[in-house]
Structure 1
């Protein structure tokens, strides 16, 4: 089958899926102020999806273990089609759009409607950017380095400044981005950022001041090591089938850029990948009835404290489990390579897991609130009432589960490819993956468990 015919079949498949969703979705009118009501759980027994999902991931490793040919694995990692295209004019337009979008978010959030679902600034941040734009980043191409309004503004300030950018202390590494990512998601959970436009405006303004100031002082190192948003998009961008290069763009297999990462991540970079994986799961967990029961059971303790313990504790558990798997992998592979190197070498393979869960968590969210975003965009300061929102059909829960499982399957394949780049022979690479397959199955089970849980205001799972 030729590459063009494959693309044609994929286009027909996704087009059919989009039409099916549109037919099955039911238009409803939004009455709630928060956007959380658009999230729905999967109407299926959680034990069924957990067992089946974990079984699929385990079976995928068994199947991939038969592929030990260097040429076949190399084709996945190295196949690329370069497209000689200039993004100069397009890049300028995207940079302008990024700055304008930032100003619109702040202005409309401050002076627009106080109801979240009717405020264009709130919808643009959560539906258009954090959900929709992020999906484009790992499904198509990473445009954030160009769109990033903070980078654009910092660049303008640096051109008129006589100061030279400082170097970040090496001992700091990328740990600030780990703390920043955990802190941002915790702030999203404990504060009414999705329900209060004024609160969102305050956070956006504060984040803009800190980020632009840091980038002016430390230059691009700030976006490379400190800014959590830039680091999230950079990791997700490595999953995309379109990669930006110095000469333009190139087309490759999804995830192959992750397999091509030539160095092992340092411990701080591994921690950031683990943090991304955990906060994506935690963001879905806090919307479930199960987590709400935990908050009720610990009622004397303020909810912000419980959520802080939850996000920090979950990160520590995920991080320790992964590091322990790397230590065990050193023994199963019977190698002199250190456990920290193994942990850093396989860390890129975790990115598809985070992306798969993000897609499962937010695909229905975007579809349900897209009519609201388009309607409010027509008249941001005085939108019509009521605001249209689509109700997602129950069968879409199966699609959510498929997204989670597909992310884990791609993770197994990336890890499989990377193992043959560092371990000799045919058995040693396979043995190095045993602990990580177990960890991946555990991650799959936990992710599917969260997706299958009934959500607050949602349907039972």
Structure 2
């Protein structure tokens, strides 16, 4: 077990029992064929954010339950920071980096997609803000900020996760968590709880992923079981969503790139420091995804005859791709290395305790076979692009007449096919 493996969250793909070329071609063809099927079978808008079966389980809306959960999460967050500062100095023996990079960051994906905006419900910063009675006379959050501050936070975090040297050092992790909390609390003291909806990168991240969840809320606040794609066609006037989605997709693509033999050869060949090369690679990956998305949207506007930019209108339809990439790249890491935080929790401060009888244990790598990993990874990428294509098609039908919708979708589908093939290629390259 190494700090490098911890920080990246990827590894061991070269032993997957797959024909890589066949998987790449097959995945790209699946997206192309699905678009043809959509044109033939999906001729009018079908997704409805207001439709769904009401959830009658009272505990879901219980204020007491939410309050108790917020207190528990706050105590856990304080505990993790304390362990980071005062626990063992070695990464492999300290709970804090594992809790941040594995349990929290990766765990937010399945939690948000399955249960909804969980971090908004239990955000410890909201609890602290309320307890300190701050932000009671807030100023409105400037509309032009949109999701841009949250995007900057997430960009900084993925740089930390994928590029920064010594990124898994427990003291650094604890200091960064504390600094992040203080800066966002200072902003929330000025702008009130509404700040977290726009400026807290992790709350924004969880809330946006939750738009793919089968649990959602109608405009009247009623909780419903719905089509998981229905939340992607809800209008979102907040600027910056497209850029945020490109950061999420591009950073995960870069994570895959760093595991290829080509990348390792580049690092060995260049005289530049690894951190500088990796920073450039991360920027180029995000820029490449951005150019592909915004370029396809510009072409879509031209061929459909639209007089307005389309990038913002279709931005939410990128979210299934971000979910698919996240699942594909972190599934095995979460299941296997995600055992480590529970092992370390038995002796958090390195005093010789063995609260859970886990002292000396190691993650059980036999819980997942290479075949199971391969199946989840490939299906996650392909299904993410299929879901995105379907949601974009429904959004196009809402925006244009049938002919313009068909023409406008052609550049989008080409981009989806390229993304699918590239995503699979990076995933399966050794």
TM norm structure 2: 0.88
Contact 1:33 1:117 in 2 (8 A): no
- Given the superposition, is the C-alpha separation of residues 181 and 31 from structure 1 closer, same or farther in structure 2, using an over 3 Å criterion? closer
- Whole-angstrom CA distance in 1 between matches of 2:3 and 2:151: 33
Contact 2:99 2:341 in 1 (8 A): yes
**Aligned residue in 2 for 1:294:** 266
State the secondary structure of the residue aligned to 1:412. Answer: helix
**Aligned residue in 1 for 2:40:** 66
Q: Which of 202, 218, 225 lines up with 1:251 in the alignment? A: 225
- Whole-angstrom CA distance in 2 between matches of 1:308 and 1:110: 27
- Whole-angstrom CA distance in 2 between matches of 1:38 and 1:313: 20
**Aligned residue in 1 for 2:85:** 110
- Given the superposition, is the C-alpha separation of residues 90 and 194 from structure 1 closer, same or farther in structure 2, using an over 3 Å criterion? farther
- Given the superposition, is the C-alpha separation of residues 185 and 34 from structure 1 closer, same or farther in structure 2, using an over 3 Å criterion? same
Any idea what the Cα deviations from partners look like across 1:289-337, whole Å, max 9, x if unmatched?
4323222222x2222222222222222222222222112112322x233
**Aligned residue in 1 for 2:301:** 330
**Aligned residue in 2 for 1:311:** 282
Q: Which of 152, 164, 171 lines up with 2:127 in the alignment? A: 152
State the secondary structure of the residue aligned to 1:243. Answer: strand
Contact 2:160 2:167 in 1 (8 A): no
Which segments of 5 or more consecutive residues in structure 2 lack a partner in the other structure? none
The Cα shift of 1:367 comes to 1.3
State the secondary structure of the residue aligned to 1:378. Answer: coil
**Aligned residue in 2 for 1:410:** 387
- Whole-angstrom CA distance in 2 between matches of 1:125 and 1:142: 18
**Aligned residue in 1 for 2:170:** 197
The reply on whether 1:358 has 2:326 as its aligned counterpart is yes
The reply on whether 1:176 has 2:149 as its aligned counterpart is yes
- Whole-angstrom CA distance in 2 between matches of 1:180 and 1:112: 27
State the secondary structure of the residue aligned to 2:55. Answer: strand
Superposed CA RMSD in Å reads 2.4
State the secondary structure of the residue aligned to 2:345. Answer: helix
Q: Which of 101, 112, 116 lines up with 1:137 in the alignment? A: 112
Any idea what the Cα deviations from partners look like across 1:177-205, whole Å, max 9, x if unmatched?
33222222112223356632222112111
**Aligned residue in 1 for 2:413:** 437
The Cα shift of 1:233 comes to 1.1
- Whole-angstrom CA distance in 2 between matches of 1:331 and 1:146: 42
Which segments of 5 or more consecutive residues in structure 1 lack a partner in the other structure? 1-29, 455-461
**Aligned residue in 2 for 1:6:** none
Contact 2:108 2:206 in 1 (8 A): no
Contact 1:41 1:452 in 2 (8 A): yes
Q: Which of 181, 184, 187 lines up with 2:160 in the alignment? A: 187
**Aligned residue in 2 for 1:5:** none
The reply on whether 1:348 has 2:322 as its aligned counterpart is no
TM norm structure 1: 0.83
More off after superposition, 415-424 vs 131-140: 131-140
Contact 1:34 1:194 in 2 (8 A): no
1:3-402 mapped onto 2 (5 Å cutoff):
30=1, 34-35=5-6, 36=8, 39-41=11-13, 43=16, 44-70=18-44, 73-74=45-46, 78-84=50-56, 85=58, 86-157=61-132, 159=133, 164-192=137-165, 195-244=168-217, 247=221, 249-259=223-233, 261-263=234-236, 266=239, 268-298=240-270, 300-333=271-304, 335-338=305-308, 340=309, 342-382=310-350, 384-391=359-366, 392-395=368-371, 396-402=373-379
Contact 2:47 2:229 in 1 (8 A): no
State the secondary structure of the residue aligned to 1:284. Answer: helix
- Given the superposition, is the C-alpha separation of residues 343 and 250 from structure 1 closer, same or farther in structure 2, using an over 3 Å criterion? same
* Matched residues, number: 414
Contact 1:239 1:258 in 2 (8 A): yes
- Whole-angstrom CA distance in 2 between matches of 1:273 and 1:40: 27
- Given the superposition, is the C-alpha separation of residues 435 and 75 from structure 1 closer, same or farther in structure 2, using an over 3 Å criterion? closer
State the secondary structure of the residue aligned to 1:238. Answer: helix
- Whole-angstrom CA distance in 1 between matches of 2:288 and 2:386: 23
Q: Which of 396, 401, 414 lines up with 1:419 in the alignment? A: 396
- Whole-angstrom CA distance in 1 between matches of 2:9 and 2:242: 34
Contact 1:286 1:292 in 2 (8 A): yes
- Given the superposition, is the C-alpha separation of residues 220 and 62 from structure 1 closer, same or farther in structure 2, using an over 3 Å criterion? same
